[in-house]
Amino acid sequence: MTKNEFMIKLQEALENDLDASAVRDNVNYYSNYIDDEIRKGRSEEEVLDELGDPWVIAQSVIDMSAQKNVTEDYGGSYRSAGRSSERQESSYNVHSYTIGSWWQKLLLILGIIGIVLIVVAVIGGIISLVMPIVIPVLVVILLVNFIRRLKE
């Protein structure tokens, strides 16, 4: 995918849910980011691979804009839509982790069920190994206590 294809897909995905100025701001932000990274010596393909799917980025932006437009930072200062007003000259790392589609949710649920089953199987295995020893010991202890009571 080229930068132009990426930007078109991002713009199309954002246009359905955001106003024109927010779309323009985000498209410009990612365009500038890609240009900055290319100027640093990285290839366009490498930068676009790092960013990932433009539809996922758009969904993240839309989700963030659905929350409050102004969020409070830990230091007590405010920033708009999760971005500071000053341009930073550092490298950016964009990571998007969303569980959006039905198969991803199903996979997560099946993974949780699998982990629970493994835990139950391990506990059951431990119990099956320990019980042949514990039950006879308990029977002997109970018999000794019973015999002591009879002698008293």
Of 10, 102, 14, the residue nearest 66 (C-alpha) = 14
Q: Judge if 20 and 93 occupy the same domain.
A: yes
Domain count, the chain: 2
pLDDT at 134 over 90: yes
pLDDT at 95 over 90: no
Domain boundary pick from 53, 69, 98:
98
Whole-prediction pTM: 0.45
Domain of residue 86 covers 3-98
**Exposure string over 92-116, b if 16+ CB within 10 A, otherwise e:** eeeeeeeeeeeeeeeeeeeeeeeee
Q: Judge if 54 and 24 occupy the same domain.
A: yes
- For the record, the structure tokens of 53 come out as 């799917």
151 or 94, greater pLDDT: 151
Q: Judge if 93 and 36 occupy the same domain.
A: yes
Q: Judge if 62 and 79 occupy the same domain.
A: yes
Q: Judge if 81 and 149 occupy the same domain.
A: no
pLDDT at 83 over 50: no
The per-residue pLDDT for 16 is 83
The per-residue pLDDT for 94 is 63
Instruction: Report yes or no: 47 and 7 within 8 Å, Cβ to Cβ.
Output: no
Q: Judge if 41 and 116 occupy the same domain.
A: no
Q: Judge if 82 and 21 occupy the same domain.
A: yes
Of 25, 29, 23, 31, the residue nearest 5 (C-alpha) = 31
Q: Judge if 33 and 60 occupy the same domain.
A: yes
pLDDT at 141 over 90: yes
- pLDDT tens-digit map of 50-78: 988 998 998 888 888 877 454 444 444 44
The per-residue pLDDT for 105 is 87
- 61 CB neighbour count, 10 Å cutoff: 24
The rounded distance, in Å, linking the Cα atoms of 128 and 99 is 39
The per-residue pLDDT for 118 is 98
Q: Judge if 76 and 141 occupy the same domain.
A: no
Q: Judge if 81 and 109 occupy the same domain.
A: no
The per-residue pLDDT for 109 is 94
